[in-house]
Amino acid sequence: MYASFDEIKSAINTGTKVEEIVNQYLSQINSKQRLNAFLEVFEASAIQNAKTIDQKLQNGTAGKLAGMVIGLKDNLAYKNHHVSASSKILEGFESIYTATAVQRLIDEDAIIIGRLNCDEFAMGSSNENSAFGPVHNPINEKMVPGGSSGGSAVAVAAGLCTASLGSDTGGSIRQPASFTGTIGYKPTYGMISRYGLLAYASSFDQIGPFTNTIKDTALLTEVMAGVDDFDSTVTQEEVNEIPLHSIEGRSLKIGYINECFEAIGLDPEIKQKMESTVANLRAKGHQVDPVSFPYLDQMVPTYYVLTTAEASSNLSRYTGVHYGTLAKDVKGVEETYKKSRTEGFGEEVKRRIMLGTFVLSHGYYDAYYTKGQKVRRVIQDKTNALLKDYDVLLLPTTPSTAFEIGGVKDAIAMYLQDIFTVQANLAGNPAISLPMGQHSNGLPFGIQLIGKTFEDSDLLSISDYMMTEFVST
């Protein structure tokens, strides 16, 4: 299949119709249904849109994404199509509008081919929490693909679409990218509008792409980014271009987070690859220094206190009355709410709602939520202080390669899967996972870079250089 948009454009230039390309993807999706990546394939609308784009290409009026086939994580609204956040509580719900990020892709003639499985309401690190069953890693189908955007990662890794969209609240794009050998990018918080994204934790959530090339990552981010009247937290600057500039002749200043390299749970082979990457960068003339970030142990607890509090608020609307499937045989408001939410939500979602409600409750608000916000500011300030001295921060994406489906049963152990990724969400910085190499167990793993706020172009340019010089070697 097509590994990049450049390959699709090349095929179109040699006479292949967009409709043929879509049909090739549909055939590939059909042959790999066992991966459980797609919850629904939008076959009819995808083919119809492909025919329209073929006509536009013939007329010379096609947009800059003409022929790119994209899958959507099942928490992004697409008008007249179902969206459920992989939850029973939204079963059968059809969106009446399209998310801003999705609309901007459609406006440039990208084709939306379907909605992709994910952890329910984006809550999970393995894609085992979906109401519609786990997603399987295409490299080893006994393994998880990571979460919560597991279906999005698998769709790109297995060649089921050219690129896909996910959402990243604490690593939900970067962690599955690491587990599947794809590129996963979380832009700066506020770079891309969240309008039309079913909220988990509003001050953390960010839409971003999965791709096989940095060029495609930059192009998709450029199209989706910029001011939007429907989202007051998005940048007020127009984003017309996210250029990739050459690093050739530039001496980079890179800080690698020492506490991450020395973390007890870090796989020895991943550590060895990180160390060899540092050595290779130095050999190329770049300044690479160890830096201290002494809040590693505080980040995951802070993240879960704050995100569950926001989730408790955001998910309060799903009552079976305002939104969501109404439970049968109920009497009165209280029973309606209780039964609808009990039947509609999965165990992990209920756990997080209860935890969030607790930390917001009278007598505990200051002890947990207020203190969590203070710690978040400390983490943000320290991250930005380090980035005043360095172009990017370097750290692993995940402590290990993908684990077996059902292999992590303890909730706390599962939460610790996010230990290296939550920093960028707490601080709001852009971050990316690049496919670093292959473990002796045959599974991929990623290297992570954190960049300066709203300097996404520089982070992607450095990432492109890293992919060319080191990751593929």
Q: What is the pLDDT of residues 435-459, one digit of tens each?
A: 988 999 999 999 999 999 999 999 9
Residue 221's pLDDT band (boundaries 50, 70, 90)? very high
Residue 473's pLDDT band (boundaries 50, 70, 90)? very low
Mean pLDDT value across the chain? 96
- pLDDT (mean) for 265-275: 96
Domains within the chain, CATH numbers bracketed: 1-473 (3.90.1300.10)
Quote the tokens at residue 43: 């076959």
Q: What is the pLDDT of residues 152-168, one digit of tens each?
A: 999 999 999 999 999 99
- β-strand partners of 289: 255
> What CA–CA distance (Å, rounded) separates 136 from 36?
7
Q: What is the pLDDT of residues 275-295, one digit of tens each?
A: 999 999 999 999 999 999 999
Residue 322 is predicted with a pLDDT of 87
User: Is the peptide bond between 148 and the residue preceding it cis, with omega within 30 degrees of 0?
Assistant: yes
User: Active site includes 172?
Assistant: yes
Name the catalytic one among 148, 167, 433, 461. 148
Does residue 102 register a pLDDT over 60? yes
Q: Check if the beta carbon of residue 433 is closer than 8 Å to that of residue 389.
A: no
Task: Give 271-274's long-range contacts (Cβ < 8 A, gap of 24+).
Answer: 271/396, 273/436, 273/437, 273/445, 273/447, 274/394, 274/395, 274/396, 274/436, 274/447
Sign of CA pseudo-dihedral 24, 30, 36, 38: positive
> What CA–CA distance (Å, rounded) separates 208 from 266?
26
Q: What is the pLDDT of residues 195-218, one digit of tens each?
A: 999 999 999 999 999 999 999 999
Residue 155 is predicted with a pLDDT of 98
Residue 1 is predicted with a pLDDT of 84
User: Active site includes 148?
Assistant: yes
- pLDDT (mean) for 182-187: 98
Name the catalytic one among 126, 164, 172, 461. 172
Counting residues of the chain whose pLDDT is more than 70, the rounded percentage is 99
Backbone Cα Rg of the chain: 21
Helix (H, G, I), strand (E, B) or coil at 224: helix
Does residue 470 register a pLDDT over 80? no
Q: Which helix (H) or strand (E) covers residue 272, if one does? A: helix 268-283
> What CA–CA distance (Å, rounded) separates 189 from 177?
19
Name the catalytic one among 73, 186, 273, 452. 73
Q: How far is CA 419 from CA 115, 416, 422, in A?
A: 28, 5, 6
Does residue 332 register a pLDDT over 50? yes
Does residue 471 register a pLDDT over 70? no
- pLDDT (mean) for 395-409: 97
User: Active site includes 371?
Assistant: no
* Residue entry with tokens 């996210």: 242
Quote the tokens at residue 389: 């001295």
